[in-house]
Structure 1
Amino acid sequence: MVGYLNLILRLVIWFLLTANLSVANIIIGVSIALLLPGSPKSLGRLQDWLRALFEVIVAIPQAYIEAFEIILRPHTQEEVTLERVKPGRTPGLIFLDIFLITFTPKTIVLKYQEDGWYEVHRVRRRKKKA
């Protein structure tokens, strides 16, 4: 089941990159998705994939909310933090994590470190002094 999710992820990425749903492009996309090497030893659990897909659905309204916050109340503080990659993530799930972090307007992944960390840039509102 998870192998199909990896195939679907590859096809979605292909169609997003090409923005073309012609028959020829679909055949090329399926061929490339099947020919790309996979790592059979690192199959993710279906539960992890379902959780990641749910997080994608939740991120869409969150992105709109953050966009309006930035428009209405300026965010002038910036910070770069390190976030730990969840344990046991496959490359496809790591891609979805990076996509989720970068999808929202207040955060972007600057670098994925192979030792299991994301370098994340955030903008924040200036804290009011008490």
Structure 2
Amino acid sequence: MIGHLIFRLSIWFLLTSDFSLTNTIIGIVIALALPRGYTAPEKLKEWLKVSWQIIVAIPVAFIEAFEIILRPHQHEEIIMEKVKHQRSPLLVFIDIFLITFTPKTIVVKHHEEGWYAVHKITPKSKSL
């Protein structure tokens, strides 16, 4: 609890740039009044996987950007990707961020049944 209070108060001071007594009291009241979000704790193994995917996504994004510049992609499609089983909202957000981070894909919709609708561009049509 104290850690969250200090974190929120630090953000308050960064936003207001005022360390007066009145502003400090207002900041403490706001920090205490804001609800604290409770989420299910994720396993360390899941976070390590996600961390590795983030590290890998950065060079992939640069490679895809250069591919689009050098060879424009004309074909696009919407594909459905399965959400990994029993993901917390934070991990679902990170999954969507990782898909959208690369230039060739963007998540159009997250279906509550466990699917992402992903818009993807490709160099040429595979159905020819």
State the alpha-carbon separation in 1 of the partners of residues 36 and 118 from structure 2: 29
Q: Deviation digits for residues 24-73 of structure 1, max 9, x if unmatched?
A: 34xx7xx49x834223xx32211001110110111000000000000001
Matched with 1:87 is 85
Matched with 2:118 is 120
State the alpha-carbon separation in 1 of the partners of residues 113 and 125 from structure 2: 33
Q: CA deviation at 1:74?
A: 1.1
Matched with 1:107 is 105
What letter matches 1:101 in structure 2?
I
Instruction: Give unpaired runs (5+ residues) of structure 2.
Output: 16-26
Which stretches of structure 1, 4 residues or longer, exceed 2 Å deviation after superposition? 21-25, 34-37, 127-130
User: Given the two structures, how large is their TM-score scaled by the length of structure 2?
Assistant: 0.72
Instruction: Give unpaired runs (5+ residues) of structure 1.
Output: 1-6, 12-20
Count of residue pairs the alignment pairs up:
107
Q: Deviation digits for residues 87-120 of structure 1, max 9, x if unmatched?
A: 1211111000000000000000000111110000
Q: Give me the CA root mean square deviation.
A: 3.0
State the alpha-carbon separation in 2 of the partners of residues 94 and 70 from structure 1: 27
Identity of aligned pairs, percent? Answer: 49
State the alpha-carbon separation in 1 of the partners of residues 83 and 61 from structure 2: 21
Q: Which has the larger radius of gyration?
A: 2
